[in-house]
């Protein structure tokens, strides 16, 4: 396969550090039941070669020693659900997560227009749910704030966007579903569904190649600075396309990129040597947009959302994937969508086998409103729940988005982390960046502080979901535990003055990708 990636990106380089490295910390947390803790780890050729308590016992002599005084070493984190380039564009450009009003949003657009002249403005993270205006900026407001430059601002859930008036008039949206109009029929600038997808694709083509290249480098460097050594990229035609996806597959990055393509196209993934597909393969939409498929109507709406896939077509696709031993990751948020996913997999198990389905390790992405009766059936199918603890921190609790959309009773069942874990469903933590920021420690904390006490995880289970869950989800058996023979994917953390762990070192396949100067100098 000749990838159509941006050739300005560096070629793939499967290389590890040439000199063995001996890492010495106050404590090493290994996840190896035979040796739960240690003090020193030796890495060579991208693998862990020795683990022990006394650095002087290391059998390898010609080593480069790095002392992590005051730090704890552990297996590196995995972010099991990210949208990398979009997150990089936000990190390098316009991050609107902190905006609390329309004016905040517009002020941010004005500021970035002054700082970065000439570029199209891509921003993300706004959420008008709690804004006093209860609306996003209009197309006219964005056009004035950006002084005529193209603007696209993606809502926090990633399923809606607003654009400026010039872009709105130029983009081919006239026949698209999802264009919001005012009382006289004029588009307001708010786009959903098909219209949002088309606008993102159209806008992407307007971005300079250098802006995309910078965004990619920004986001992986950021991930490495957080102690993340592996990310699961949820790519697809919307918003970034196959060129961007191939850039992630072929580039030499400081973190591992495991690619998932959102279209049900087994030939596409086979041509790239992948054994997984999906991620953003949507069975439904979002709670914020009232498009997640529910069993009964929204508390503040007139319908119950809808399923995006016909069950017969979904079942046929899953059967073909299972027979090809390709893992499928399905986006399913509402209870009706999760039920559809379970029933489709059970139908596949009847015509193949339960063992064949379990072997592929199917993934349910988000998996938020889970009916209790489905939990043992999910466990029996070997489903991995790729979940977002930070969603509860942002949208859970009294008066939050979940309660407003679903009512008090149903909202209490959102993101049932403890019930999933207790039923034997493996949890893998991901951020869905840039919906919520990449921050594994924040996800661990959110899982322990869930608004529903019964849904909370204990610290060890939450930590394992952030470390081992993504490895299990990616069917990786040679990473995630600190013991000889495993991949040398490690992270060192020191506790800051505010009690927050700060990453001082990240190692990916034996390569030090973050913190070398600060700890070795």
Confidence of residue 54 (pLDDT cuts 50, 70, 90): very high
pLDDT in tens, 310-325: 999 999 999 999 999 9
- Of the chain, the percentage scoring pLDDT greater than 70 comes to 95
Measured distance CA(151)–CA(139) in Å, rounded: 9
Residue 284 gets which letter from DSSP? S
Which tops the pLDDT comparison, 211 or 102?
A: 102
Whether the CB-CB separation of 177 and 197 falls below 8 Å is answered with no
**What integer pLDDT is reported at residue 1 of this predicted model?**
38
Locate all alpha helices (DSSP H) within 53-182, ordered by sequence. 84-92, 102-115, 139-145, 165-170
Query: Would you state the structure tokens that stand for residue 406, as one six-digit string?
Result: 């679903």
Measured distance CA(425)–CA(488) in Å, rounded: 27
74: which strand partners? 491
Measured distance CA(477)–CA(468) in Å, rounded: 10
Under DSSP, is residue 457 helix (H, G, I), strand (E, B) or coil? coil
Whether the CB-CB separation of 95 and 53 falls below 8 Å is answered with no
**What integer pLDDT is reported at residue 135 of this predicted model?**
94
Confidence of residue 17 (pLDDT cuts 50, 70, 90): very low
- The whole-number average pLDDT for the span 30-37 is 97
Least confident of 200-214, 356-370, 381-395: 200-214
Check pLDDT > 70 for residue 16: no
**What integer pLDDT is reported at residue 12 of this predicted model?**
38
**What integer pLDDT is reported at residue 15 of this predicted model?**
38
- The whole-number average pLDDT for the span 412-424 is 98
- The whole-number average pLDDT for the span 247-260 is 97
Q: Which residues contact 385 (CB under 8 A, 6 or more apart)?
A: 363, 364, 367, 370, 378, 420, 425, 426, 427, 428
- The whole-number average pLDDT for the span 70-77 is 97
**What integer pLDDT is reported at residue 500 of this predicted model?**
87
Measured distance CA(286)–CA(387) in Å, rounded: 14
Domains along the chain with CATH numbers: 21-75+483-520 (2.30.40.10), 86-206 (3.10.310.70), 262-473 (3.20.20.140)
Under DSSP, is residue 333 helix (H, G, I), strand (E, B) or coil? coil
Measured distance CA(388)–CA(81) in Å, rounded: 9
Confidence of residue 113 (pLDDT cuts 50, 70, 90): confident
Least confident of 357-366, 390-399, 490-499: 490-499
- The whole-number average pLDDT for the span 172-197 is 89
Q: What is the mean pLDDT of the chain?
A: 92
Which tops the pLDDT comparison, 517 or 221?
A: 221
Check pLDDT > 70 for residue 509: yes
Instruction: Please name the helix (run of DSSP H) or strand (run of DSSP E) that holds residue 125, with its range, or none.
Output: strand 121-126
Q: Which residues contact 337 (CB under 8 A, 6 or more apart)?
A: 283, 284, 292, 293, 307
- The whole-number average pLDDT for the span 295-299 is 97
Check pLDDT > 70 for residue 14: no
**What integer pLDDT is reported at residue 517 of this predicted model?**
57
Check pLDDT > 80 for residue 351: yes
- Of the chain, the percentage scoring pLDDT greater than 90 comes to 80
Check pLDDT > 80 for residue 417: yes
**What integer pLDDT is reported at residue 257 of this predicted model?**
98
- The whole-number average pLDDT for the span 96-125 is 89
Query: Would you state the structure tokens that stand for residue 415, as one six-digit string?
Result: 């993101």
**What integer pLDDT is reported at residue 10 of this predicted model?**
41
pLDDT in tens, 76-86: 999 999 999 99
pLDDT in tens, 121-151: 889 999 999 899 999 999 999 999 998 889 9
Alpha-carbon separation of residue 428 from 17, 221, 468 (angstroms): 29, 22, 7
pTM of the predicted model over 0.85: yes
Check pLDDT > 70 for residue 520: no
């Amino acid at each position: 396969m000749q990838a159509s990636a941006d050739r300005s990106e560096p070629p793939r380089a499967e290389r590890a550090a040439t000199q063995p490295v001996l890492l010495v910390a106050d404590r090493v947390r290994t996840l190896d039941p035979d040796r739960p803790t240690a003090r020193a780890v030796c890495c060579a050729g991208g693998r862990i070669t020795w683990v022990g308590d006394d650095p002087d016992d290391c059998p390898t002599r010609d080593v480069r020693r790095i002392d992590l005084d005051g730090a704890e070493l552990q297996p590196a984190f995995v972010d099991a659900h990210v949208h990398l380039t979009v997150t990089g564009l936000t990190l390098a450009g316009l991050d609107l997560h902190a905006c609390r009003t329309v004016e905040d949003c517009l002020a941010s657009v004005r500021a970035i227009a002054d700082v970065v002249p000439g570029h199209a403005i891509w921003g993300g993270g706004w959420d008008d749910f709690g804004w006093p205006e209860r609306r996003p900026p209009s197309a006219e407001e964005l056009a004035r704030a950006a002084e005529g430059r193209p603007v696209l601002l993606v809502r926090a859930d990633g399923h809606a966007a607003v654009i400026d008036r010039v872009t709105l008039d130029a983009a081919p949206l006239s026949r698209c579903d999802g264009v919001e109009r005012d009382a006289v029929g004029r588009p307001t600038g708010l786009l959903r569904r098909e219209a949002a997808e088309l606008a993102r694709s159209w806008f992407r083509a307007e971005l300079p190649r250098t802006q995309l290249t910078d965004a990619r480098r920004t986001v992986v460097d950021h991930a490495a600075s957080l102690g993340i050594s592996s990310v699961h990229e949820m790519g697809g035609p919307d918003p970034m396309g196959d060129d961007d996806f191939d850039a992630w597959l072929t580039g030499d990055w400081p973190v591992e990129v495991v690619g998932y393509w959102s279209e049900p196209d087994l030939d596409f993934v086979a041509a790239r040597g992948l054994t997984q597909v999906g991620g953003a393969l949507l069975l439904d939409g979002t709670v914020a947009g009232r498009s997640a498929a529910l069993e009964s109507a929204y508390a503040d709406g007139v319908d119950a959302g809808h399923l995006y896939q016909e069950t017969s077509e979904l079942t046929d696709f899953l059967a073909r994937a299972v027979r090809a031993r390709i893992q499928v990751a399905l986006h399913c948020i509402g209870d009706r969508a999760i039920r559809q996913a379970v029933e489709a997999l059970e139908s596949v198990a009847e015509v193949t086998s339960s063992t064949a389905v379990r072997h592929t390790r199917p993934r349910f992405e988000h998996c938020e409103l889970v009916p209790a009766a489905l939990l043992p059936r999910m466990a029996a199918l070997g489903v991995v729940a790729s979940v977002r603890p930070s969603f509860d921190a942002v949208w859970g609790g009294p008066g939050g988005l979940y309660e407003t959309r679903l009512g008090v009773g149903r909202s209490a069942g959102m993101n049932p982390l403890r019930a999933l874990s207790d039923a034997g469903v493996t949890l893998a933590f991901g951020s869905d960046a840039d919906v919520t920021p990449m921050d594994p420690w924040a996800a661990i904390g959110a899982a322990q502080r869930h608004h529903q006490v019964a849904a909370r995880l204990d610290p060890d289970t939450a930590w394992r979901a952030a470390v081992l869950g993504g490895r299990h989800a990616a069917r990786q058996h040679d990473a995630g535990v600190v013991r000889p023979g495993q991949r040398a994917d490690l992270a060192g953390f020191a506790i800051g003055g505010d009690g927050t762990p700060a990453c001082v070192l990240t190692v990916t396949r034996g390569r030090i990708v973050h913190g070398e100067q600060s700890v070795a100098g």
